[in-house]
A and B are shown apart, each in its own frame.
Chain A
Amino acid sequence: MRRQLYEWIDKRTKLSKYWDSIAKHPVPPHVSDGVRTNPVYCLGGIAFLCFIILVVTGMFLAMYYKPTPDEAYDSIRYIMEEVPMGAFIRSVHHWAANMMVAAVMLHMIRVYFTGAYKPPRELNWVIGVLLFLLTTAFGFTGYLLPWDQLAYWATTIGIQINSGIPIVGSYIGKLLMGGNEIGPNTLSRFYAIHTIVLPITLTLLLGIHFILVRIHGISGRYL
């Protein structure tokens, strides 16, 4: 029965042809010798796990959240007080987000000090910096959504700083706010950026990031 199922799937996907190159590559001894695994090589994976947790919890939050100034705050309070497990799901989203930023930063520091950005890996470093900036953009847009005092004023400061960039700043500010002040347009576009634009962009870049890691393999010994 198992054998038949395997053959049925394999005939249609030819998975066995690709399996070895996907999964059977060796991990070098300085990453894991079979007894001890160097934890600094897990940071990228930890960031990815956080992202998966964020996608799943984000889907649940999106089912209750309402991106308008009149309803946003009350919908979060509803999630926190009425929805079964709502407070827990939102808190997991909150902590996974902080953990993801920390893991991405530490991953970047690891890649820098192990020299893992050197040829032929330059392009993957550039994609990595983009992924880091996208991660912080996730944080920035997500911060406004609860529409409480902290959300509103932290975003005000953030937009002021972005507007201070010479030449393009005032356009960035207008683009972020959807007008000349923080209001309904700002909230709905932050929600769209947070739940549609950034997840699609990040997933595509993450795919390229992983494929390039598979092509290059893990970088050499740093000590």
Chain B
Amino acid sequence: MRLNNLRSTSVVIALVLLGMVSGGTSASAQQRYLTSLNWSIGFPTGNLDNYTPSTSFSGFSADLRFLQPDRTFFGVSGGWNYFSDLLRNATVSVENGAIYGTQVRTVNAIPLLASAGMFFDDGTSNMHPYAAINVGAYSVNQRVEIGLVQINNNNWHFGVAPEVGLMIDLERTTAFNAQARYNRALSSGTALNGSSDNSYGWWSLNLGFTFTGW
């Protein structure tokens, strides 16, 4: 049932974002803003790489950013990354014991971030490199299924995510967006294996479109 709740949540988010996209040009006549919706590919590092080492192709990110005349911008960013791996015939040690079985390991990470950054061009060309820093909260669900048992570990983390990106104009109000971001969710509790370090880190390559509005 959790699975279906997540699916329906994804659909609602997608519809809301689509609404943002389609309503981009009809908003305020004074404020220029950038709305990006991207497919997010995740590359785990550190603790996350130890737990679910496979590259994740399941995810998306969305940015809403307000562009200032001096080419700086601020806004909000959100998204979702899903990491999963299968370990057959694995034995894990637990306190005073061990557990053996096929493990399905997953991590669901939802960042909710505030962003600030700047473009490095003067806006006259059709290519717009930029850099930004994102700061905020990550909701992370770490889960392992062994046999018919499912163990969940949910935590909120404070996190930072520096990023660099490039927008390439497709036409006046639409651009292709490529973005590399390093997500760092700082430790905030206990990991499933009992470790006091439950920090997570992953690179995300976000590919999508940016729509501008005034």
The answer to whether A and B assemble together is no
